[in-house]
Structure 1
Amino acid sequence: MKYVRMAQPVLAATAAALLFVVACAPPEKEDSGEQTQSGVKAAEATSAQDFGGMEGLVEAAKKEGELNVIALPPDWANYGAIIKAFSDKYGIKVNSAQPDASSQDEINAANQQKGKSSAPDVFDLGQAVALGNTAMFAPYKVATFDDIPAAFKDPEGTWVNDYGGFMSIGFDSSKVPPVTNVNDLLKPEFSGKVALNGDPTQAGAAFSGVVMVALSQGGSIDDIAPGVEFFRKLKEAGNFLPVDPTPATIESGQTPVVIDWNYLNAAESAKLPTWQTFVPPDHAVAGYYYQAINADAPHPAAARLWQEFLFSDEGQNLYAAGGVRPVRADNMVADGTIDKAAAAKLPVIDGPVAVPNPEQTEKATKYLAENWAQAVG
C-alpha cells in the first residue's frame, strides 16, 4: 500500500494515496488551577510529564470527569466511534455541542462562553481559522509528538494536524448523471442540485472546495478567482443550492450533489448505495485539520488526555477507519501498527496533489472575504 507523504504544504510533484441556544446562562466553570505533580497548573501543563506521566494525567482527567468537544459530527472522520472509545476507556463524560457547526463557530463559542463550564475544551479546525486564532490555544506536546512531521505541527505544540483527506464531489447516481469532471456541474441536469459544505469564509471543507474548483478552471492555489467565478456561474445557471449539506439532507434527496471531503462523501455510500464519490484526479486538493486545546479550557487535564488519545496508535487507527489519513500514518506503517484493512480503503491518487500552505491560505481567505458573498449572494 502507498501513502502520499505530504511533507511540505506545497504543490507536490507526484502523489500516491492519501494520504445553542441555551435556556439560561451556564454556570461559571470551577477553578481548574489544581497543581500537577511538577507544580504547574493543569491548564499550563505542556506534556504528560507535568502530571508525573500518563497515569497522573489520567488520574487528573478522571477527577475532572468531563470533556467538552464541539463541531464533531459522528459521521465526520469517525468521531462518533472516537468519542465513544475515549469515554469508555477513561470513564469521562464527553459533552458534544453543535456537531454541525463550522470552524469559525467553534472559535465564536469559545469567546462567548469564556469562563463558563460549557466552553469548548478542544478545537478541530480548518487551516485558515486555526492559524488566525493561535493566541487562543494552549501549547501541549503529546507522547507521539516526535512522530509527527515538522510541516504538520507547531514546534511548541500550539496546534497539530490530526487527519487529512481529498476534496471530492459526491452525487446520487439515481438523481443526476455521472460526474466525471467539475464542469459537469454547470449542465442543466444539475439544476438546483449542487451544494457546498459550508461557507468558504468560515468552513475548511468549503474553502478547499473552492480551491479544487479553481484548479479545474485554470486557477491555482495562488489564484482562486476562477473558482469563485465558477460558483458565480453555477448560481447564475440555477444549479447552486445554498443549503449546508448533512447526512440527513443527502439521504432525503435534498442535496443530490455535494462538494465535500472524500471521507464524508464516501461514508454516505454505506447508507445510500446510489451515492458515489468522485475525486478529480487532475485537480486533487488535500488538506489536514488542526487539533488544539482551548487555553481557557474548563477541563484542562481532560483536554490534554483527549489529545494523547487522538495521537496514540488507537486514536490514529480510529481516524483511518473513518476514511481519513491519520497524520502519523507513515510512522505507523513503518512500525507495523497501522490498521491495514482500514488503510487499504484510503483513496489512491496518481498525479499532482495541491496542499495550500499557510501563506497561500491567508491570501485566498482574504480574496474570499472580499468576493464570495457578491458571487453567490
Structure 2
Amino acid sequence: MTVRTCAAVAAILASAGCGASPSAEKPGSDSPVKVHAASLKEGFGTFERLVEAAQKEGALTVVGLPRDWVNYGEIIDTFADKYGIEVKQLEPGASSRRALDTAARLKPDVFDLTLEEAVGAAGAFAPYKVQGWLDLPDHVKDPAGGWYAAYGGYMSIGYDPGAVPAPASFADLAKPGYKVALDGDPLRSMAAFSGVMAASLQGDSPQPQTGVALFAKLKQAGRFTAPAAANTVVTWDHVNAARAARDSAAWKVTIPRDAPLGGYHVQAISKAAPHPAAARLWQEFLFSDEGQNLFQKGYARPARGEAMLMRGTLDTEQAAKLPKSPGPPVLLTIPQTDAGKSYVKKEWAKSVG
C-alpha cells in the first residue's frame, strides 16, 4: 500500500514528529571518545569533543554530490570553512547505485542515496542517530539509525510559459505544443524513472503502463525530446525551481494535484568510513537547523522542516519560494518501485526507444 504522510505544512514535504531540540549536549563528559559510536552522547559526550575528534582526522570523503544539486556546493564549503576539515569530492555525478558499487574502491565516509537504494544496502552502514533524530518522520528512517531522510521533493513539470499554457496534469502534456523531456533515461536515471511513475499515478496507485503510454504517444507525435530542445521538462521540483529562480519569466514549475509523487534522499555513514568522527560531524551538520536551511536554499524540502517551523528556526522566506505543494505526497513502496522498474525495463525500449 502506498505510504501517505500527514498534511504538508507550507513548503514542507511531509510532517515530522516534534522531538528533542538538536542543540549540542551539555559538556562535561570525561569518558574516552568512541568514534564509531551510534550517537553523539555515547561516543563523544559533547558536541565540542566530536568537533575535536573530526578535526584530528582532518578530512571527509564524499561521493556523488554535484555542487549544483540541492545547494551541495554551499553546504560543502560551509562545512569545510566552519570546521576546518577538507572535503574530498569524488565522482560528483555518480548515481546512488554507482556510489554504493564503487565504495570499496573510493572509500567514501558518507552516502547520499535514494531511499530504495539505502534500504537494499542497509548492511553497509554504521548506525548513528543525529541529535535531531526525533524530528524525522518515522517512515523515512531506519529504526536502528542506519539511514535517514535529509531532504525530499515532488516530481514536477517545468515549462516555458511563453510557449505553452500551464499544464494541470500529466495528461495535458499530450496536447499539441508541448515538447517534453525527462531528466535522463528512465532505465538509468531515478529522476527520469520517477517522472514516468508520476505520470502513471491513478489516485495513490501507480500504473506503469499509463506512464509509458504517455511518453510513447509523445514520441510518436515527435514531441518527446532532449531537455535542451524541450519547452517542458519533467523532473524533481527543486531542479525546476532552481531553473525558474534564474529566470522566472522564461520558466515556471507546477506539481499536478492528481500526481503528487514524492521522494526522499537519505544519508548514511559507511561502516568502513576512513574518517568516522568527521562522518558523524557531517551528519550532525546536515541535520542541524543550518544544514536543513541550506538544503531548502537549494529548493529541497528539509526533512526536519515541520519541527523547525514550529520552533521558529525554519527560513520561512525561502520556504515561500518553493513550488506550491499539492498536499501530502504519495511515496512509492519498495514493491511498487520494483514492479515499476520491471515494467519500464521490459516496455520502454520497444514503446518509446
TM-score range, shorter chain: 0.7 to 0.9
Select 2:318's aligned residue among 342, 349, 353. Answer: 342
Q: Is the 8 A contact 1:165 1:286 kept in 2?
A: yes
Distance (whole Å) between structure 2 residues aligned to residue 297 and residue 9 of structure 1: 34
Secondary structure, aligned partner of 1:235: helix
Distance (whole Å) between structure 2 residues aligned to residue 357 and residue 295 of structure 1: 26
Distance (whole Å) between structure 2 residues aligned to residue 39 and residue 59 of structure 1: 10
Secondary structure, aligned partner of 2:98: helix
Instruction: Give the match for residue 250 of structure 1.
Output: none
Instruction: Give the match for residue 97 of structure 2.
Output: 104
Distance (whole Å) between structure 2 residues aligned to residue 13 and residue 129 of structure 1: 24
Select 1:323's aligned residue among 283, 290, 299. Answer: 299
Select 1:226's aligned residue among 210, 215, 224. Answer: 210
Question: Residue deviations 1:65-124, cap 9 Å, x none?
Answer: 22222222223222121111111101111122333332222222224x1xxxx4322211
Aligned residues: CA RMSD: 2.7
Alignment length (residue pairs): 334
Change (3 A) 1:363 1:92: same
Change (3 A) 1:81 1:9: farther
Select 2:37's aligned residue among 39, 45, 57. Answer: 45
Question: Residue deviations 1:326-359, cap 9 Å, x none?
Answer: 1111211222221221222233334563222334
Change (3 A) 1:37 1:287: same
Q: Write the letter of the residue equivalent to 2:58.
A: G
Using the size of structure 1 for normalisation, the TM-score is 0.79
Q: Is the 8 A contact 2:198 2:261 kept in 1?
A: yes
Change (3 A) 1:341 1:9: farther
Query: Within 5 Å, which residues of 2 pair with 1:177-192?
Result: 178-190=166-178
Distance (whole Å) between structure 2 residues aligned to residue 287 and residue 267 of structure 1: 17
Distance (whole Å) between structure 1 residues aligned to residue 82 and residue 212 of structure 2: 45
Instruction: Give the match for residue 74 of structure 2.
Output: 81
Secondary structure, aligned partner of 2:200: helix
Change (3 A) 1:201 1:124: farther
Distance (whole Å) between structure 2 residues aligned to residue 124 and residue 224 of structure 1: 27
Q: Is the 8 A contact 2:285 2:291 kept in 1?
A: yes
Which runs of 5 or more structure 1 residues have no equivalent in the other structure?
Answer: 1-7, 20-35, 246-252
Select 1:263's aligned residue among 238, 245, 250. Answer: 238
- Once the two structures are TM-superposed, the CA of residue 290 in structure 1 deviates from its matched residue by 1.3
Q: Write the letter of the residue equivalent to 2:43.
A: D
Q: Is the 8 A contact 2:124 2:271 kept in 1?
A: yes
- Residue 300 (structure 1) aligned with residue 284 (structure 2): no
- Once the two structures are TM-superposed, the CA of residue 175 in structure 1 deviates from its matched residue by 4.9
Select 1:120's aligned residue among 108, 112, 134. Answer: 108
Secondary structure, aligned partner of 2:177: helix
Question: Residue deviations 1:175-198, cap 9 Å, x none?
Answer: 5554343234334534xx422123
Distance (whole Å) between structure 1 residues aligned to residue 308 and residue 269 of structure 2: 24
The farther-off stretch of 79-88 and 144-153 is 144-153
Change (3 A) 1:148 1:178: closer
Distance (whole Å) between structure 1 residues aligned to residue 173 and residue 264 of structure 2: 26
- Once the two structures are TM-superposed, the CA of residue 148 in structure 1 deviates from its matched residue by 1.6
Q: Write the letter of the residue equivalent to 2:152.
A: G
Secondary structure, aligned partner of 2:199: helix
Instruction: Give the match for residue 288 of structure 1.
Output: 264
- Once the two structures are TM-superposed, the CA of residue 231 in structure 1 deviates from its matched residue by 2.2
Secondary structure, aligned partner of 2:257: coil
Q: Is the 8 A contact 1:122 1:297 kept in 2?
A: yes
The farther-off stretch of 348-357 and 86-95 is 348-357
Distance (whole Å) between structure 1 residues aligned to residue 232 and residue 344 of structure 2: 22
Q: Is the 8 A contact 1:16 1:350 kept in 2?
A: no
The farther-off stretch of 75-84 and 172-181 is 172-181
Change (3 A) 1:139 1:199: farther
Q: Is the 8 A contact 2:158 2:233 kept in 1?
A: yes
Secondary structure, aligned partner of 1:179: coil
Q: Write the letter of the residue equivalent to 2:246.
A: K
Select 1:160's aligned residue among 120, 126, 148. Answer: 148
Secondary structure, aligned partner of 2:267: strand
